[in-house]
Structure 1
């Protein structure tokens, strides 16, 4: 294996600054490639000894400055030797992070640092952190050289054996959905690509050329028009009155198509009066896309009724935040009270319900796309296929 050549060089760009000085740099050469690092030392041309590649002794503090240069070169050499002696790969790109004090020793450490540095929404960061957690459950430390087809295949097998348990003992454990597994690999691929771009991995090492994970056909649960009525009309009295807030917020999501994260981040300033009519105008948390919903018109203004019910809540936000898990637990109980027993209702069911109901009512698919804030029409068209299948099943069930 070739070793990097480290050399002190002067005035590489052949130009002086306004003080008539130029920079001393360290040149790192390996396999036909160069990297240059600044020493932050500037001197006049007549004080540089090109033969010994040092600052001449008659320059002020020459001994101290030459020592600084030699120490930088020694640190770079030691960093490279540590990698080689540990049996780990080395390339010039790794020196960038080392010189910045950001050197990482493993892929898992790199991914952890980059998640926090990248310009991502908090929900996306949370999603990527979950992927990292799964990776660490599989293998505590994953080095860059470990990222192979075999490792991805083993990780895939590991994910398919995971059993998710629930606090509710009546709910049986379940395996990860195919789409969840696909998302884990999609997220992991993002950081493998980033590591290659930062020269921390060799492009020839790229394992996703061979390894592929397909998305699954996710079964979207939604409420039928009759079930929406059942949910709306369920009476929550006595000890069941504690479910009223979750019911209201779930129905608000049904009426607007907002995700859980958008319902609970909704601020009073997001409700705008245009020509005396209420509109909901908000940038969505997950996608950063803007939605404009005429809440005075959609579902006969029912979103406005719910907003008015909580209007005195003393905050910039429209609703007091509840965890997704808390909402889903209560929705399970409300579903039973509403007589809906053959579906597992979660908060996200509301958004699916909005899409399917609007299409059922012959709202154009492009309008549904705008209300839901989908970037791609193809995402909205999935609901069109669901409605086709629903209509078909209902017709087949009729005894003509």
Structure 2
């Protein structure tokens, strides 16, 4: 890496004062970034390159020093070869703050988005601030984003709306990765795959009884890990009971009623608010009831949002292994 050189330079500006700039040099090229600090001529020490006589000298010198440190931090943490144009672009968008919300708002208004799109992104930002009041870029972890997904679903949003909001959040996570480099945890969004991307990758055929048997035999083969088995069983339960993903995500132990030693599933549909009552024992020879019994002591794990999200995005690749989807 060809290290960028930094030095302070001054220029006389309107009003007779001196403007202080940071001069950045690399490969014979130069850019100059304004510190926005202005001083009188007799307050600047050219010999030592600092403000010497101003009553605010200590704080102003510290401000300038932090700016240089911020520039150098961008250079040293950038993934790949840094150039002066990239340094200028990143710094102008990033500013001196490592607050993700500040970066979000600044980027949102500088990306050339349509007013309606800006309004949508601003609303998502408002929502995520309700989830967590402040967020430095170092806190952009998988736990943070999984937690926000849970916050959205628990607020009663439809699954499609949750996906739209997560799509926006992922865009600003990627911008943070670009602007702040290694300061931002990597792969924090690896757990989440946009359903639109999955729809473009996999085509799911209409399932027949024989297809369901193939999936059941796949689970019974004993070759699956516990996480894959959980994913397929979630899919099978939805298939047996005919529940939508949004309804499945809203279930808990209170939705299962025992009557005459038989299990009934009862819930109000998230989409239509219609009361639904399903005899699990009477459908597919009671195989939905069998899955319920298998996870009866850990239903919170079976229906928890993180596992459901993994199921939604994970069952297509697994079904491809069974031979029920095509690229």
TM over 0.5: no
| Greater Rg by CA | 1
Structure with more relative contact order (C-alpha pairs < 8 Å, separation 6 or more):
2
TM-score (norm: length of structure 2): 0.38
Greater per-residue helix proportion: 2
TM-score (norm: length of structure 1): 0.32
